[in-house]
Structure 1
Amino acid sequence: MVEQARAGQAPRLQLEFAGEWFTLDPSRPFVIGREGDLTVDDNQYLHRAFLEVHHRDGLWWLANVGSRLSATVSSAGGAVQSWLSPGARLPIVFSDASIVFTAGPTTYEIGAHIDDASFSLSTEHRRRSSGETTVMPVGLTELQKLLIVALAEPMLRRDGVGVSELPSSAAAADRLGWTMSRFNRKLDNVCDKLDRMGVQGLRGGVGKLASNRRARLVEYAVSSQLVTRADLALLDDAALRETDED
């Protein structure tokens, strides 16, 4: 999956959020949250200090210093993806990576860029990701993908914006011309399918509200490129929306 480039001192790391760039100082930690070096948003659901980036042992590390929220970290193209839970940390080793997290109904994305990264995608995976080979391991139906696109529409339509408000289930169902029972049934199906594949945060239960499940679904689908901006065309396919498929 990956090829190691070289060992040595960690090169310059830059973070990009909502069109603003930050060059990190390896001599001190960089804090991301409701307060800190990168103030993401005045969102009551977001920790004051949520993520911390620091330099250690020749590498840049991303640590989750919050107590509730998790983040998804993926390489460009979504070939490699990690779930960063509270208390966990991982090295940032790819030249381009995406850090996506959800606080309440809002999903945020931060880009991480390293000039001379420690690892790169293998030639075989680059060939697969380029479109020469089509790989769809999730096996979503057209309507399941359409549902995800409807929920992710604000995030997919953004241009250089790191914050997106997710639509409610009622708004997404109305966008598709579906009844709420149909929408909820298909949401259950797609979440169950991804949960069986090991995607965390989609299983309902005590303390896990429907809004959080929708946000996690969008977070995973966008960061892994399960849906992309090109899929927005599906929303204009009236025949597809009217298809009766479980």
Structure 2
Amino acid sequence: MHPVTAAVADALTVEFAGEEFSVAPDTVFTVGREGDLAIDDNLFLHRNFLTIQHVEGLWLLSNVGSRLSATVTDTGGRVQAWLAPGARLPLVFAATSVIFSAGPTTYELTIHAAEPTFRETPPTPDDDGLSTIGDVPLTHSQRVMILALAEPVLRRDGTGMSELPTSAQAAERLGWTLTRFNRKLDNVCDKLDRIGVPGMRGGVRSYATNRRVRLVEHALAARLVTRDDLPLLDEERANSLSGAGESGADDA
């Protein structure tokens, strides 16, 4: 790995777990279990998963793995793309967030461009910033269900890695039964699947964790939940344990 040592006008900077790495235009930067950014000794993670390189005037992020996908978004959460195996995407924003999961572990890194192709303009008064991803209406119980899964990531300071809870652990965090938690999970995944969010439906070859980690990836990228929402978890647990949490009107 090569930490940043000098500023390069056309270079990108990759930030992960408190470290920064410079990507020069004449190199191919590799992310995975091995490479320039050797993230983690996680057997679910490809040895070489993502590459960043400068091609014909554009910085490109490529998925060179065979199984895993990544969620790519501008750090404002207004534009989101799913980078499947074999796909590549131009890096046009000043800061791009890349979120992906390998097994039960979710990773996040940020790519900073000194001279981005796209520069943000201030939103108009009628622009809520959600036109690209789309606003997804969530009930209170659906929101706290997502929060219980995403809590380790949201409590993390900056980019890095987080171990996601199991459904049983998340249900316990909320003071819910596992049956109730799974019902909420089904409802939210069905809702997101209907608006075209990929990875919300499991298959016979899917790991049990796939749907949960994909939900967390999307929720973080689309800003469905944020760190400011975390106090809702303790409130929900207190209400559930006191018998006030199972509300029929909000049990979708």
Fold agreement, TM-score > 0.5: yes
Gaps of 5+ in 2: 1-8
Aligned length: 235
CA distance in 2, matches of 1:237, 1:112: 35
SS at match of 1:113: strand
SS at match of 1:225: coil
Q: Does 1:153 align with 2:151?
A: yes
Gaps of 5+ in 1: 1-9
Q: Does 1:38 align with 2:37?
A: yes
CA distance in 2, matches of 1:136, 1:145: 16
CA distance in 2, matches of 1:57, 1:99: 23
Q: Following TM superposition, by how much is the alpha carbon of 1:243 offset from its aligned partner in structure 2, in angstroms? A: 3.4
* Matching residue of 1:57: 56
Which protein, 1 or 2, shows the higher relative CO under an 8 Å CA cutoff with sep ≥ 6? 1
SS at match of 1:107: strand
* Matching residue of 2:72: 73
Percent pairwise identity: 57
* Matching residue of 2:136: 138
* TM-score, normalization by structure 1: 0.90
Q: Following TM superposition, by how much is the alpha carbon of 1:161 offset from its aligned partner in structure 2, in angstroms? A: 4.6
* Matching residue of 2:3: none
Q: Following TM superposition, by how much is the alpha carbon of 1:28 offset from its aligned partner in structure 2, in angstroms? A: 1.4
CA distance in 2, matches of 1:161, 1:114: 17
Of 157-166 and 46-55, deviating more is 157-166
* Matching residue of 1:22: 21
RMSD: 2.2
* TM-score, normalization by structure 2: 0.88
* Matching residue of 1:202: 200
* Matching residue of 1:212: 210
* Matching residue of 2:185: 187
CA distance in 1, matches of 2:170, 2:55: 44
Indicate if the aligned counterparts of 2:202 and 2:210 stay in contact, CA closer than 8 A: no
CA distance in 1, matches of 2:44, 2:168: 22
Indicate if the aligned counterparts of 1:77 and 1:129 stay in contact, CA closer than 8 A: no
* Matching residue of 1:103: 102
Of 10-19 and 67-76, deviating more is 10-19
CA distance in 1, matches of 2:139, 2:68: 30
* Matching residue of 1:11: 10
Q: Does 1:231 align with 2:229?
A: yes
* Matching residue of 2:161: 163
Q: Structure 1 residues 30, 115: CA separation in 2 closer, same or farther (over 3 Å shift)?
A: same
Indicate if the aligned counterparts of 2:78 and 2:129 stay in contact, CA closer than 8 A: no
CA offsets, 1:53-96, max 9 Å, x none? 00011111000000000001000111011110000101000001
Indicate if the aligned counterparts of 1:51 and 1:64 stay in contact, CA closer than 8 A: yes
